[in-house]
């Protein structure tokens, strides 16, 4: 983690905490924390989102709150700085959960979400060449996410990403899939995931963590059990932020690093790139 990334994480945690401190909802705190990270261009989300192999930046995001189990998500959205806000609009103003592709972009434009300049079109690659490049995939990550608990006892979770390095055009990962990249339920907890989306989806990891929290184990125990299975069954890699309505939380990853932090309003926010 660079020093600019650490400073940005601290700033994002402070924005989220101050909103909660003033009585704001967990949902708004999660959205605004993620907006700071999307805007920075320092992470794989919003301004810093990876390009797909055809040179187009298609982004995914989702948000969920644990009281009513309302959720919103966008996949393959283009040309906006804040996919997380597009996801919140899907949740707030439609009866749907997920909008995809050009129609997600159109929806965001309709609500005048801040536009993001699109990268200049690349040389047109043959599809054979695109496929060849995909096979050399390296798993660099950097998705951003947040979980929060507000004064009413409601939890929320969100995540926003540009996907993985060298992905096929049109590829969608776990981030906008409710139950995979995020889940939030006041009866169990809020979960936001990062990592190799294809493995996370196959085990519906966020919902799996919530289901196991219901059985009474601590967040740390639960995530470790789920991650053991993720690694063993599907050779997965992931990191999770988990927060329960009782205020218990954990950050666990089976990737070498995960830049993350927390803040309860005392002293300085804690930010590290290795947990366990
Ligand atoms: N989970 C994201 C995806 O697979 C990538 C990441 O977390 O960095 O799209």
Distance 13 CA to ligand 1 centre (A): 21
45/161 Cα distance (integer angstroms): 4
Nearest alpha-carbon partner for 25 in 93, 88, 98? 88
- Measured by CA distance, the residue closest to atom 9 of ligand 1 is 163
Q: Find the DSSP H helices in the chain.
A: 3-21, 26-40, 83-93, 101-110, 127-134, 197-202, 205-214, 219-234
Whether the pLDDT of residue 209 is over 70: the answer is yes
Summarised one tens digit per residue, pLDDT across range 265-275 is 999 999 999 99
**CB-based burial label for 106 (10 Å; 0-12, 13-18, 19+):** exposed
Ligand 1 mean position, distance from CA 165 (Å): 9
**pTM (predicted TM-score):** 0.95
Instruction: Report the pLDDT averaged over residues 28-34.
Output: 98
* Number of domains observed in the structure of the chain: 1
pLDDT at 181: 98
Contact 83, 60 (CB under 8 A): yes
Percent of the chain with pLDDT over 90: 83
User: Quick one: DSSP state of residue 123?
Assistant: P
Query: Which of 48, 77, 162, 173 best tests ligand 1's pocket when mutated (most atoms within 8 Å of CB)?
Result: 173
Cα 211 to chain center, whole Å? Answer: 20
The answer to whether position 271 is within a domain reads no
Is the distance from the beta carbon of residue 175 to the nearest atom of ligand 1 less than 6 Å? Answer: yes
Which of the two residues, 142 and 144, has the higher pLDDT score? 144
83 lines ligand 1 (CB under 6 A): no
| Position 144 confidence tier, pLDDT thresholds 50, 70, 90 | very high
Q: What is the mean pLDDT of residues 120-149?
A: 73
For ligand 1, the distance from its centroid to the CA atom of residue 164, given in whole angstroms, is 6
Which pair of tokens denotes residue 78?
């283009």
In the β-sheet with 182-185, what is the strand arrangement from edge to edge? 182-185, 189-195, 238-243, 249-253
Inform me whether the pLDDT recorded for 259 exceeds 80: yes
164 Cβ below 6 A of ligand 1: yes
Active site amino acids = 143
Number of H helices, E strands in the chain: 8, 11
Is 267 within the bounds of a domain? no
Q: Angle, nearest 10°, between helix axes 219-234 and 205-214?
A: 140
Establish if 163 belongs to a structural domain: yes
In the reported structure, the alpha carbon of residue 161 is separated from the centroid of ligand 1 by a whole-number distance in angstroms of 6
Residue 161 Cβ < 6 Å to ligand 1: yes
Evaluate whether residue 32 is within a structural domain: yes
Mean pLDDT of 23-33: 98
Ligand 1 center from residue 143 Cα (angstroms) = 6
Q: Which domain holds residue 93?
A: 3-119+126-259
Q: What is the pLDDT of residue 131?
A: 75
Banded pLDDT at 151 (limits 50, 70, 90): very high
CATH code, 61:
3.60.20.30
Is residue 273 assigned to a domain?
Answer: no
Ligand 1 in reach of 141 Cβ (< 6 A): yes
Could you tell me if the CB of 163 is within 6 A of ligand 1? yes
Q: Could you tell which of 57, 167, 181 is best to mutate to test the pocket of ligand 1, judged by most ligand atoms within 8 Å of the CB? A: 181
Residue 174, pLDDT above cutoff 80: yes
Q: Is 268 within the bounds of a domain?
A: no
Q: Residue 58 above 90 pLDDT?
A: yes
Q: Is residue 233 part of a domain?
A: yes
3-state helix, strand, coil in the chain (%, to 5): 35, 20, 40
Residue 177 domain-assigned (yes or no): yes
Confidence of residue 220 (pLDDT cuts 50, 70, 90): very high
Asked whether 174 lines ligand 1 (CB < 6 A), one says yes
Tell me the pLDDT tens digit for each residue of 73-128: 999 999 999 999 999 999 999 999 999 999 999 999 999 999 998 877 665 567 77
Q: Is the pLDDT higher at 87 or at 264?
A: 87
- The answer, yes or no, to whether residue 135 has pLDDT greater than 70, is no
Identify the burial level of 272 via C-beta atoms within 10 angstroms of its C-beta, where 0-12 means exposed, 13-18 middle and 19 or more buried.
Answer: middle
What order do you get walking across the sheet with 98-100 strand by strand? 98-100, 71-77, 59-65, 155-161, 144-149
């Amino acid at each position: 983690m660079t020093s600019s990334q650490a400073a940005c994480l601290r700033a994002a945690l402070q924005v989220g905490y101050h909103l909660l401190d003033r009585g704001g909802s967990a949902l708004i705190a999660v959205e605004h924390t993620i907006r700071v990270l999307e805007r920075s261009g320092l992470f794989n989300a919003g301004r810093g989102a990876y390009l797909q192999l055809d040179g187009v930046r298609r982004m995914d995001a989702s948000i969920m709150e644990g009281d009513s189990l309302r959720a919103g998500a966008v996949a393959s959205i283009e040309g906006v700085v804040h996919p997380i806000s597009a996801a919140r609009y899907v949740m707030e103003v439609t009866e749907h959960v997920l909008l995809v592709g050009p129609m997600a972009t159109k929806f965001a434009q309709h609500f005048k979400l801040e536009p993001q300049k699109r990268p200049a079109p690349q040389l047109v690659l043959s599809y054979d060449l695109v496929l060849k490049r995909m096979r050399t995939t390296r798993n660099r990550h950097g998705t951003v996410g947040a979980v929060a608990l507000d004064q009413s006892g409601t939890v929320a979770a969100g995540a926003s990403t540009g996907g993985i390095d060298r992905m096929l055009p049109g590829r969608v990962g776990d981030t906008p899939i409710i139950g995979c990249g995020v889940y939030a339920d006041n009866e169990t907890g809020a979960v936001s995931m990062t990592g190799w989306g294809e493995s996370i989806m196959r085990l519906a990891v966020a919902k799996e963590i919530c289901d196991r929290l219901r059985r009474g184990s601590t967040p740390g125990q639960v995530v470790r059990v789920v991650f053991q299975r993720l690694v063993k069954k599907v050779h997965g890699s992931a990191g999770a932020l988990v927060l329960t309505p009782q205020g218990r939380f954990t950050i666990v990853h089976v990737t070498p690093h995960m830049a993350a932090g927390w803040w309860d309003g005392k002293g300085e926010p804690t930010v590290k790139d290795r947990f366990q």
